[in-house]
Amino acid sequence: MLNKLFKFYGGVKPPSNKTLSNALPIVQAPLPSRLVVPLHQSIGGMPRPVVQAGERVLKGQLIGQADGWLSAAVHAPTSGTVLEVAMHVRPHVSGLDSLCVVIEPDGQDEWIAHGPPDIATMSPADICNYLQQHGVVGLGGAGFPTHGKLTATPAVPMAELIINAAECEPYITCDDLLMRERADDIVRGIAVFRDMLKPQSVIIGVEDNKPEAIAAMRAAVDAQNEAFSVVAVPTLYPAGGAKQLIRVLTGKEVPGSMRSTADMGVQVFNVGTAYAAWRAIGHGEPLISRIVTLTGNVRQAHNVEALIGTPMNELLQLAQPHPDTDGIIMGGPMMGFLVPNESAPIVKTSNCLIAHSERLFPPKAPEMPCIRCGACARACPHELQPFELYWHARAKDFGKTQQYNIFDCIECGCCSFVCPSRIPLVQYFRFAKSEIWAREREKKAADEAKTRFEFKQFREEREKAEKAEKLAKAAAAQAAKKAAEAAAAAAAAGDAPDAPPADKAPDVAVDPAQAAKKAAIEAAMARAKAQREAAQVKNTDDLTPEQAKAMADIEARRQQAGIAEPATTTETKPE
């Protein structure tokens, strides 16, 4: 091996159980009875639905338009009819619903017109846009839109492009099989990334328990005359964590506070992402299916290529689960979760479905108190002190948890794995993290509320001041008028024939009198206007487009309901 490998601290070696599912080739899953495609499948903005119930869609047709820069489009996985666009359960540990497009397949699987773009004429920005439109997101777990990692133009030159094929979680073999069977397309996908990021070197990291995949990848790299190095990394969970893999392959440690690894001159993509990117660029196919490992308590564990939106329980039937299966774990046994509702659909990040049974995963013994043995600290790949974090998270002392760097925790589960007291440590950390986030949200909302409140106060003060000023002006005008009248009266009184200077007096007096009158009228009008303004607050001036749209919608609805006529026509003011 040319590459010098580094070690990361901690890590555990759970039984890998990969041989269960890596013996059989990838099978194309049959069309399910219906597809529920969640619109929100990646980090970032929620895509907007662009289809309506009853509409016929073709395979690969856009159904969710990317919203904002950090968002990825969603496509129809097969041809059929849109049944509804409604809230459906999502594969999320909360079991909450989100907006989904439900499609009834027509069985024809009819593709929309598609074909590879002319990549030679595309600028990097075009390619990014193209990937976004084709819904390519990271398939490793988090679902970060791929173009987001490709557009970053860091000040640091890109030193290494790392392809994460470690697949360190037990049971999962989808990347393994993908590399064995489709190494050529993967390498082409990597080449696209390489051309865009222009790194000094490209390293493909594979855990050394996948010799066939390593061989296949090396063969594909050689066949395409690429200079990528395929490196076997020691099998140690979580070697497939992005930061751990970077550490192992390059020796660089990316701090938890650093948002993007690009700032260290490294970028990491999952091997499946590279494949999906090539399907999009080389074939024009959007991301509508993925390889899913079906394993666990099943008769025939294997990998399938499943359409996004396939209900999990339907898909798992392909592997013939044993009758004592009592749940489905999405993801691996270390970081996955039991799906609260088994009819939840496969999404872009569903890499593995494990049939859960108590025989396979015996129920945990009850939680004992922490004895501070430090086993978790020795296992933590981020060198945290999980028992201290636990101690403070349990006491809900979140400030302290932040002091102990809770946000550096990657929730890999090593600490829970080794804990002799069987404490669900990760669970405590997730709890603490989401509490801290909620607090930050509240704090932000409070700050905004405060600013708006202060602005309102300021505005009211100003209005009051303006009103007072106008009143003062009016009073001044009144006084001037009075003075003028007095002067006029005086002039009139002194209208003696032997007073020549008084000749001019009426003229002079009339002018101020008229001016005063005019001023008074103006003041009155201003006053009335101010009063009107005060009474009829109108703050619809600077609305965001959405707000304006929402109001327009509501107005339209009101008119439909026949409750309120257009506001301008009549005055319907009940008492």
Partner 1 sequence: MMFAPAPFLLKDASVSQVMTQVCLALIPGIAAYAWLVGPAILVQLVIASLTAVAAEAAMLKLRGKPLAMFLSDGSAIVTAWLIALTFPPLAPWWLVVTGTLFAIVIAKHLYGGLGQNPFNPAMVAFAACIVSFPALMSQWPSVGLQMPLLDQLNVILGLAPRVDALSGATPLDAMKTALKLGEGQIDIAHLLANQDIYGNFAGRGWEWVATGYLLGGLWLWRRKLVTWHAPVAFLAAMVLVSGALWLYQPASFASPVFHLLSGGTMLGAFFIITDPVSGCTTPRGKLIFGFSAGLLAYIIRVFGGYPDGVAFAVLLMNLSAPLIDQLTQPRIFGMKGRQS
Partner 2 sequence: MDILLAIAIMALGAVVLGAALGFASIKFKVEGDPLVEKIEAILPQTQCGQCGYPGCKPYAEAIAKGECDINLCPPGGMEGVQRLADLLGREVKALEAEEKPKQVAIIDENTCIGCTLCIQACPVDAIVGAAKQMHTIIAQQCTGCELCLPPCPVECIHMEVIPETLDNWKWKFPVIEIKSAPHDSAPAKEAA
Partner 3 sequence: MSHYIFILVGAVLVNNVVLVKILGLCPFMGVSKKLETAYGMGAATTFVLTLATGSSYIIDHFLLIPFGLEYLRTLSFIVTIAAIVQMTEMVIAKTSPTLQQTLGIYLPLITTNCAVLGVPLINIAYGYNFVESLLFGAGSAIGFSGVLILFAAVRERIEGADVPRHFRGSAIAMITAGLMALAFMGFAGLDKYQ
CB 71 within 8 A of CB 45: yes
Single residue of 48, 394, 470, 527 touching partner 3 by CB under 8 A: 394
Q: Tell which positions 327-366 bind partner 2, by CB under 8 A.
A: 327, 338, 340-342, 363-364, 366
Find which of partner 3, partner 1, partner 2, none residue 419 binds, CB within 5 to 8 Å per kind: partner 1
- Tell whether residue 419 is among the known ligand binding residues: yes
Quick check: 395 binds partner 3 (CB under 8 A)?
yes
Interacting residue with partner 2 among 446, 486, 489, 499 (CB under 8 A) = 446
415 is in an annotated binding site: yes
**Four-point Cα dihedral 190, 196, 199, 200, nearest 10:** 90
Q: Residue 298: count other Cβ atoms within 10 Å of its Cβ.
A: 23
Please report whether residue 490 would count as binding partner 3 according to CB under 8 A.
Answer: no
- d(CA 508, CA 487) in angstroms, rounded, equals 9
Q: Of 2-10, 267-275, 294-302, 566-574, which part binds partner 2 (CB under 8 A)?
A: 566-574
380 is in an annotated binding site: yes
235 binds partner 1, rule: CB under 8 A: no
- Strands of 266-270's sheet in order across: 229-233, 201-207, 160-165, 266-270
Given candidates 98, 229, 402, 427, which one binds partner 1 under the rule CB under 8 A? 427
Q: What's the rounded Cα separation, in Å, for the pair 410 and 426?
A: 9
Alpha helices, DSSP H, located in 202-333:
211-223, 242-250, 271-283, 312-316
Who's near 467: CB < 8 A, 6+ residues apart? 527, 530, 534
CB closer to partner 2, 108 vs 451 = 451
| 397 lines the binding site for partner 3 (CB under 8 A) | yes
Contact 255, 384 (CB under 8 A): no
Q: Does 402 bind partner 2 (CB under 8 A)?
A: no
Binding partner selected for residue 464 from partner 3, partner 1, partner 2, none, CB under the kind-specific 5 to 8 Å limit: none
Instruction: Please name the residues in contact with 273: beta carbons below 8 A apart, sequence gap of 6 or more.
Output: 136, 137, 138, 139, 140, 146, 189
Q: Do 219 and 183 contact (CB within 8 A), yes or no?
A: yes
Count the neighbouring beta carbons within 10 Å of the beta carbon of residue 48: 15
Q: Using the rule CB under 8 A, is 424 a contact of partner 2?
A: yes
Stretch that binds partner 3, among 22-30, 100-108, 359-367, 388-396 (CB under 8 A): 388-396
Considering beta carbons, is residue 230 or 328 the nearer one to partner 2?
Answer: 328
Q: Which of 126, 195, 212, 367 touches partner 2 (CB under 8 A)?
A: 367
Q: At closest approach, how far in Å is the CB of 403 from partner 3?
A: 11
CB under 8 A: which stretch of 53-61, 338-346, 393-401, 459-467 binds partner 3? 393-401
| CB-CB contact of 372 with 420 (8 Å) | no
- Alpha carbons 322 and 297: distance in angstroms, whole number: 6
Based on the shown chain and the rule CB under 8 A, indicate whether residue 195 belongs to the binding site for partner 2.
no
Residues 18, 23, 29: CA angle, nearest 5 degrees:
100
Whole-angstrom distance, CA of residue 336 vs CA of residue 495: 104
Residue of the chain from 120, 227, 496, 561 that contacts partner 2 (CB under 8 A)? 561
Question: Binding partner of residue 535 among partner 2, partner 1, partner 3, none, CB under 5 to 8 Å per kind?
Answer: partner 2
Residue 409, annotated ligand binder?
yes
> CA nearest 153: which of 112, 124, 175?
124
What Cα–Cα distance (Å) separates residue 182 from each residue in 134, 174, 212, 284? 20, 11, 12, 17
- ∠ CA(309), CA(314), CA(317), 5° rounding? 140
Closest contact distance (angstroms) between CB of 297 and partner 2 is: 12
Decide if residue 59 touches partner 3 (CB under 8 A).
no
Assess 94 for contact with partner 2 (CB under 8 A). Answer: yes
Shortest separation between residue 385's beta carbon and partner 1, angstroms = 7
CB of 372 to partner 1, least distance (A): 4
Which residues partner with 49 through β-bridges?
64
551 binds, among partner 3, partner 1, partner 2, none (CB under 5 to 8 A by kind): partner 2
Closest to partner 2 by CB, 124 vs 424, is 424
The 10 Å CB-count burial string (b at 16+, else e) for 325-345 is bebbbbbbbbbbeebebbebb
Q: Counting contacts by CB under 8 A, is residue 334 touching partner 1?
A: yes
Judge contact between 366 and 341, C-beta under 8 A.
Answer: no
Nearer residue to partner 3 within complex by CB, 400 or 467: 400
- Distance separating alpha carbons of residues 321 and 304, to the nearest angstrom: 15
Q: How far is the CB of 470 from partner 1 (least distance, A)?
A: 59
Cis peptide before 238 (omega within 30 of 0): yes
Task: Specify the 3-state DSSP secondary structure of 70.
Answer: coil
Contact positions with partner 1 (CB under 8 A) in 357-416: 361, 363-366, 368-375, 377, 381-385, 387-388, 404-405, 408, 413, 416
Token reading at 174: 């989808």
Beta strands in 147-244 (DSSP E): 160-165, 201-207, 229-233
Asked if 367 is part of the footprint of partner 3 (rule: CB under 8 A), the reply reads no
* From candidates 107, 211, 420, 494, binder to partner 1 by CB under 8 A: 420
Note the residue count of the chain. Answer: 575
CB of 394 to partner 3, least distance (A): 6
Q: Which residues bind partner 3 (CB under 8 A)?
A: 369, 391-392, 394-395, 397
Summarize the annotated binding site for [4Fe-4S] cluster as residue ranges.
370, 373, 376, 380, 409, 412, 415, 419
Chain contacts with partner 1 (rule: CB under 8 A): 8-9, 12, 14-15, 170, 243, 247, 253-258, 326-327, 329, 331, 333-338, 340, 354, 356, 361, 363-366, 368-375, 377, 381-385, 387-388, 404-405, 408, 413, 416-422, 424, 426-427
Residue ranges binding partner 2 (CB under 8 A): 40, 89-90, 92, 94-96, 98, 326-327, 338, 340-342, 363-364, 366-367, 424, 427-428, 430-431, 433-435, 437-438, 441-443, 445-450, 452-453, 455-456, 535-540, 543, 547, 550-551, 554-555, 557-558, 561, 563-564, 567, 571-574
